[in-house]
Amino acid sequence: MAAADDLPRLRVTTHDMAYGPHAVARHEGKVLFVRGAAPDEDVEVAVREARRTFAFADTLAVVRPSAARRAPPCRYLPGCGGCPWQHLTYAAQLAAKQRVVAEQLRRIAGVEVEVAPVRPSPVEFGSRRRIKLRVDGGAVGFYAAASHALIPIDQCLLAEPAVDAAIAWSAELVRALDLPIRRVELLGGAAGGDGVVVVGEVEGAWDPAADAACRHWLAARPAIRGLVLRGRRWQRRWGDVQVAFEPEADLRLTAHAPVFTQVNPAVNRELVATVVRWVDPHPGQQVLDAYAGAGNLSLPLRRRGAEVVAVEQDRQAAADAEANAARCPGPPLRVVCDRAERAVERLASEGQRFDAAVLDPPRSGAAGCIPALLRLAPRRLVYVACDPATLARDLAQLKQRYRIDAVQPFDMFPHTYHVETVVRATLSCEKETPGVSSVRRHEPAEPKRRRRTRRRTL
């Protein structure tokens, strides 16, 4: 890669944020994705990678700062790639995310709908109950921007205090074990009391000789309640590996790490309240909850009398959902442990009928479920998405039979470009022309300096 002094330099004016870590500018008809810039400011940039119609660039100097710019409080910036929007004021982040959701729905789904202002996180910092760190050479941290070069850290302003304190301990674990640990996830809210559960992802086979070191490390750190190490087709646990989550203020559920739970507990409660209000559950109502996890949405709906079929492919998550239901009053919860697309297809083939369906898929979206869901045709549909591009792709198909009534984004992930969005749709008598069948990327992928690996999860 060329040295910074050898790269082409330009002076450009940015106009908005992309759905990604960049501001967007134009130069001689070419779109520039500029890392480190804010909307509506003049910047001097170095073009890092040029293509025919677009290019990636890095900010070298801010000539005229944006009103949205601020000095980021994190000491690891601008090197760390974990918080690419932290140089924007929080109000500017929220406004940009609202525009991003609206633009994705309009461009990909062909849906013109009012997008509500983004519901903010109650706190900007210290909001995340779980973080996932990369590992390299005995250090833990995040990758640098557009790179697989590790930025070692010993604190993260986004993490809850207990999770933040565990970062240094996780590095000690990595150094103590003679195992190729590639990622470490820290989960707060241990079910057995205030504390953290640590999950390490290991390449290769389990080494029984590491058992003693794991036990010693855990015993020496009372604030760490449990440890999970897992590799391909194996998993080992020490201590109490359950974490608690509260989808509602008076509803405490548990899940075994590393089962998915939302990272921002306060925002999750607001999101759950919106889903419950839009589904409007009541006794006798039939509700399908696809991608149900450990019951984050199923149990709040069920406790109001709805008869819920919860579909979840992860066996541990499905077992956790059943255990949570056994501790909570309400109608029987039917848990189907299967891939969502296969389970929904079977339900449609059996002639099942639902008054409402809830979708909360991973970032890849729910495309596999859409054909069967259109056949099931529940009167009301509530879709929870963490990626507005795949959400828009799926809505382009769903709008064949559904009218999009409301769109409410939530800032589950402050200081990143990620946004959680809840959409309410109602079955319509009219069949519109099918929308776009495949999603275009929100912005081109940046080149990597080293071998490709899976993208960091939220």
CA pair distance 408, 120, nearest whole angstrom? 11
Q: Which residue has the tokens 């979206």?
A: 365
CB count within 10 Å of CB 455 equals 8
Spell out the residues 6+ positions from residue 168 whose beta carbon is closer than 8 angstroms to its own.
154
> Cα Rg for the chain, rounded, in angstroms?
23
Residue pair 25/58 in contact by the 8 Å Cβ criterion:
no
Q: For strand 402-410 and strand 380-385, is the pairing parallel, antiparallel, or unpaired?
A: unpaired
| Residue that has been written with the tokens 């557009």 in this structure | 146
Give me 279's structure tokens.
């589904």
The whole-angstrom separation of Cα 121 and Cα 417 is 14
- Which residue, among 188, 241, 239, has the nearest Cα to 218 in the 3D structure? 239
Q: Distances from the Cα of 139 to the Cαs of 2, 259, 291, in angstroms?
A: 27, 25, 34
Indicate which residue of 80, 369, 386, 429 is catalytic. Answer: 386
Please give the order of strands across the beta sheet that includes 150-152: 150-152, 139-143, 130-136, 181-188, 196-202, 224-231, 234-239
**Is position 337 annotated as part of the catalytic site?**
no
Q: Which residues are catalytic?
A: 386
